[in-house]
C-alpha cells in the first residue's frame, strides 16, 4: 500500500486543527484525506468512505469522540481509530481504549508521532 492509497479521516471540531493536519499529511505524501467537524459527521463519513485510519478528537459537538468511536467500532470492529486528546480530556482516554481505540496521541500533535502511527497502520494493512 502506498501513502496516497491510505484513506485518512480527520475528526475535530476545530477547522484550524483539521486544516493543519491536512496540510501536514499532504506535505508527507498522504493525499486521500477526509474531514469531519463533529462526532455524528465522523460516523456518517466513516460509513461512506470506509477509511483505513481515523484521527478522532474527544470533545466535539453533536456526539463526542468516544460516542462516535463506539458507533464506528460497532459498525466496523476492525476500525483503526486513533484518539487525539488534549490534557483536560485524558480521563476519557481509558474509556476510549476500552471502547476500541487503536491508539492515542496528545495535543499539540507531534508530527513525527503521526508519521510513525501511519507507518504502523500501513504495515498492518499489508499483513492482512
Assess if residue 9 is contained within a domain. yes
Assess if residue 127 is contained within a domain. no
Please give the residue range of the domain that contains residue 25.
Answer: 3-122
pLDDT category of residue 96 using cuts at 50, 70 and 90? confident
Assess if residue 63 is contained within a domain. yes
Assess if residue 128 is contained within a domain. no
pLDDT digits (tens, 9 = 90+) for 112-128: 999 999 999 999 888 87
The number of domains in the chain is 1
pLDDT digits (tens, 9 = 90+) for 63-92: 999 999 999 999 999 999 999 887 665 677
Looking up residue 32, the CATH number of its domain turns out to be: 3.40.50.2300
C-beta separation of 51 from 30 below 8 A: no
Q: What is the pTM of this model?
A: 0.93
**Residue 91 vs residues 31, 65, 98, 99, 100: alpha-carbon distances, Å:** 33, 13, 12, 14, 16
Amino acid at each position: 500500500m502506498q501513502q496516497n492509497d491510505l484513506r485518512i479521516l480527520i475528526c475535530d471540531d476545530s477547522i484550524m486543527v483539521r486544516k493543519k493536519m491536512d496540510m501536514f499529511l499532504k506535505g508527507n505524501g498522504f493525499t486521500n484525506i477526509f474531514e469531519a467537524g463533529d462526532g455524528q459527521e465522523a460516523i456518517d463519513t466513516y460509513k461512506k468512505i470506509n477509511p483505513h485510519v481515523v484521527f478522532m478528537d474527544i470533545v466535539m459537538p453533536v456526539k463526542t469522540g468516544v460516542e462516535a468511536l463506539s458507533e464506528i467500532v460497532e459498525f466496523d470492529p476492525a476500525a483503526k481509530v486513533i484518539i487525539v486528546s488534549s490534557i483536560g480530556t485524558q480521563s476519557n482516554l481509558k474509556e476510549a481504549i476500552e471502547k476500541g481505540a487503536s491508539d492515542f496521541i496528545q495535543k499539540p500533535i507531534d508530527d513525527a508521532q503521526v508519521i510513525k502511527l501511519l507507518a504502523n497502520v500501513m504495515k498492518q494493512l499489508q499483513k492482512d
